[in-house]
Every structure is written in C-alpha cells, then in structure tokens.
Amino acid sequence: MDAAALAERIEGALRVNRVFGEPVTMDGVTVIPVSHVGGGAGGGGGREVRSGDEKTSGRPAGEGSGGGLGWTGRPCGVVVLRDGDVRWVPALDVNRLVSAVTVVLVAAALTVRPILRGRCR
C-alpha cells in the first residue's frame, strides 16, 4: 500500500462523525453523542540484499516490511439540547473506574502492610 492510499484510509477512519454521533431528537430534546477518537499509522519499506549476504544468511535476495492503520474510540458523554439550554452529561467509563479503584486498593495494601508489621513487633 502506498502512502497516498494509507493517508486516504486514515482520513476516512478519523472523520468528525466518528467523534460526534448522529443527533437524536424526541419530545423536543436533542441528544448528541460524543466520543474520544484516536488512531495511528505506520509504514515500512524494503531493501535489496547483496549477493554475498544471501549465501551466508540463507535469506532471499530482498527484504521488506509493511504498514498498518488502527484507531480506537470510547464514549465521553452526550450534549443535551432542551428548550434552548445546552447541558453536558459525561459518560461513566466503568473500565476506567474499576482500574482506578484497583490501583488505589493495591497502593493502600502496599502502604498499610509495612505499617502493621512495624506495630506488631
């Protein structure tokens, strides 16, 4: 895949409609979902191996590598429009919450254990 084709795929994957979803309107209230989107791309190349290297390494007469594209998204919240009033309602990211609680509990356990050992002696 050449650089121009890769750039087109990146542009297609990271458009603004990936961040702001389609608005939903019901009973005079409009809700617009919002996401955090990120991505990355990588490329590669190749080289020709000299004939002397080919005999000692056992490799073919050329080497090459490829490229790729990846992106991810997670919900951030919604924008709520009601009677001319705009309100932001954040999404609860359960995975992030569980990770934060786990880190705090492990840190607390590692801190309390030496304190209790010192008092028991």
Q: Are strands 29-42 and 68-82 parallel, antiparallel or unpaired?
A: antiparallel
Q: pLDDT tens digit string along 9-60?
A: 767 666 666 677 889 999 999 999 998 887 777 778 888 766 655 555 555 5
Q: What pLDDT score does 13 carry?
A: 65
Mean pLDDT score across all residues of the chain:
80
* pLDDT higher than threshold 90 for residue 103: yes
> What is the value of pTM for the model shown?
0.50
More confident residue, 97 or 43: 97
- Tell me what pLDDT residue 101 has: 96
Q: What is the pLDDT of residues 105-114, one digit of tens each?
A: 999 999 988 8
Q: Which residue has the tokens 């609860």?
A: 92
From residue 57, how far is each of 13, 15, 44, 45, 104 by CA, in Å? 40, 46, 22, 20, 52
Q: Is 83 helix (H, G, I), strand (E, B) or coil?
A: coil
Residue at token pair 């809700």: 31
Tell me, what's the pLDDT at 57?
A: 57
